C-alpha cells in the first residue's frame, strides 16, 4: 500500500482530523496517509479527509452537501452530475454489495443497477438520509434479491461453513498464528445479516441511525444485532483456535 508522508501546510493540519466526534481517530496516521488509505476505502472518513485536503481550511465543502448538490442536479436531468456521483460512491457500494453476494461480477451488476435506480429516483429523494445511506439501502435491496434468488438469503453460519471457497479456512489460518487473518476469515463465514452489520459499522462507518435506515430495522434491533454478530464472530474465532476472552 502506497503511503506518502508529505510536509503538510499548517493551514491543512489546522482543519482538524475530519472525523466525527466521539471516537478515537485511527492511530499512527497523519492527515495525508489517512486520506490515502481511507479514500481508497471509499469511507466517510476518507471523503472528509479528501474535502479537508482540497479545501485547505475548515471552510471546505461538507461531504453531505456535495452529495445533495449532485442529487439536485441529477433530479434536473444532469447526467454529468450522475457520473460524478457514481465516481464518488462506486467503490463504497461495490464493496458493500460484494460483502453480501460474494461474487465480483454480481456485485458490479448491482452497482450499475443501484446507480441507475438512483438516476430514476433522484427527483423523489427527500434528504431524510445521506445520499450514501440511500445508495447503500438500494444496493442492499438488490443484493438480498440476488441472495434470495440463489436461496442464500437466510444462510446460517453452519451452512456457510459447508460452502467451499478458495480462501483458507479459519482453522488453517489459525495454524499460521495470524489472529487478524483468522478474524477476517471468520467475518466471511458469518451469516449475511451479521456480516452486513459488521461491515456497515466498522468499514462503512455508518451511525446507528444510518444502519437502521439501510437495513430497515429499529435502532435497538441494530444494536442487538451488532452485539450478536460480534459474539458469533468470537465464537467462530474460538472454534478456529483463537480465544479472544469474550464472550
Partner 1 sequence: MITRPADSDERAPGEIEALLPWYAAGTLPPEQARRVEAALDRDPELASHLARIHEERDASIRSAEAFGLPSSRTAARLFAALDAEPARAASVREGSGMLRRAGQWLAALRPQTLALAAGAALLLVAVQGGFITGALLRGGETYSSASGGDAVAGAYVLVAFQPEARAAQIGTLLQGVSGHIVDGPYPGGLFKVRIGAADMPEAERTAVLARLTQASDVVRTAVPAQ
Nearest distance from C-beta of residue 102 to partner 1, angstroms: 10
Q: How many CA atoms lie within 13 A of 77 on its CB side?
A: 0
Rounded-to-integer distance, Cα 243 and Cα 247, Å: 10
Instruction: Report 208-247 residues binding partner 1 (CB under 8 A).
Output: 208, 223-224, 226-228, 230, 233-234, 244-247
Whichever of 206 and 213 has its CB closer to partner 1, that residue is 206
* 2 near partner 1 (CB under 8 A): yes
The sign of the CA dihedral 143, 165, 224, 94 is negative
201 binds partner 1 (CB under 8 A): yes
- The CA-to-CA distance between both ends of the chain, in Å, stands at 34
CB of 155 to partner 1, least distance (A): 18
Pick the piece of the chain touching partner 1 (CB under 8 A) from 136-144, 158-166, 168-176, 179-187.
179-187
235: buried, middle or exposed (CB in 10 Å: 19+, 13-18, 0-12)? middle
CB of 146 to partner 1, least distance (A): 15
- From the CB of 189, what's the least distance to partner 1, in Å? 11
Rule CB under 8 A: say whether 21 interacts with partner 1.
Answer: yes
Helices 31-41, 44-55: axis angle to 10 degrees equals 130
Q: Would you say 74 and 88 are in contact if contact means Cβ atoms under 8 Å apart? A: no
Asked if 140 and 215 count as a contact pair (C-beta separation under 8 A), the reply is yes
Kindly state whether residue 8 participates in binding partner 1, applying the rule CB under 8 A. Answer: yes
Quickly tell me which residue has 466525527 as its cell: 20
Q: Is 40 in the site for partner 1 (CB under 8 A)?
A: yes
Q: What letter does residue 13 receive in the DSSP assignment?
A: H
Q: Looking at 15, 85, 100, 192, which residue binds partner 1 (CB under 8 A)?
A: 85
103 vs 151 by CB, closer to partner 1: 103
Q: Determine which residue in the list 13, 14, 16, 116 makes contact with partner 1, applying CB under 8 A.
A: 116
At its nearest, how many Å lie between partner 1 and the CB of residue 65?
A: 6
**Chosen residue from 13, 80, 127, 172 binding partner 1 by CB under 8 A:** 80
Angle at 106 (CA atoms; ends 157, 67), nearest 5 degrees: 100
Does 135 help bind partner 1 (rule: CB under 8 A)? Answer: no
> Cβ distance 96 to 199 under 8 Å?
yes
Instruction: Name the minimum Å distance from CB 51 to partner 1.
Output: 9
Do residues 246 and 233 touch, judged by C-beta distance below 8 A? no
Q: Is 199 in the site for partner 1 (CB under 8 A)?
A: yes
Q: Is 194 in the site for partner 1 (CB under 8 A)?
A: no
In angstroms, what is the minimal distance from the CB of 165 to partner 1? 14
Amino acid at each position: 500500500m502506497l503511503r506518502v508522508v508529505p510536509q503538510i501546510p499548517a493551514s491543512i493540519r489546522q482543519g482538524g482530523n475530519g472525523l466525527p466526534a466521539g471516537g478515537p481517530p485511527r492511530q499512527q496516521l497523519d492527515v495525508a496517509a489517512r486520506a490515502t488509505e481511507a479514500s481508497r476505502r471509499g469511507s466517510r472518513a476518507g471523503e472528509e479527509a479528501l474535502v479537508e485536503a482540497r479545501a485547505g481550511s475548515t471552510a471546505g465543502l461538507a461531504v453531505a452537501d456535495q452529495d445533495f448538490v449532485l442529487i439536485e442536479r441529477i433530479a434536473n436531468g444532469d447526467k454529468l452530475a450522475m457520473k460524478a456521483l457514481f465516481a464518488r460512491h462506486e467503490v463504497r457500494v461495490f464493496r458493500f454489495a460484494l460483502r453480501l453476494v460474494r461474487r465480483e461480477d454480481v456485485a458490479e451488476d448491482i452497482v450499475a443497477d443501484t446507480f441507475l435506480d438512483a438516476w430514476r429516483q433522484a427527483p423523489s429523494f427527500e434528504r431524510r438520509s445521506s445520499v450514501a445511506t440511500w445508495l447503500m439501502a438500494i444496493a442492499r435491496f438488490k443484493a438480498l434479491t440476488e441472495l434470495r434468488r440463489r436461496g442464500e438469503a437466510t444462510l446460517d453460519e453452519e451452512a456457510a461453513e459447508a460452502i467451499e471457497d478458495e480462501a483458507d479456512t479459519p482453522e488453517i489460518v489459525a495454524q499460521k498464528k495470524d489472529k487478524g487473518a483468522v478474524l477476517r476469515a471468520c467475518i466471511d463465514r458469518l451469516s449475511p445479516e451479521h456480516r452486513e452489520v459488521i461491515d456497515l459499522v466498522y468499514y462503512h462507518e455508518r451511525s446507528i441511525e444510518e444502519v437502521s435506515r439501510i437495513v430497515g430495522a429499529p435502532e435497538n434491533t441494530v444494536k442487538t444485532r451488532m452485539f450478536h454478530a460480534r459474539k458469533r464472530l468470537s465464537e467462530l474465532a474460538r472454534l478456529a483456535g483463537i480465544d479472544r476472552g469474550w464472550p
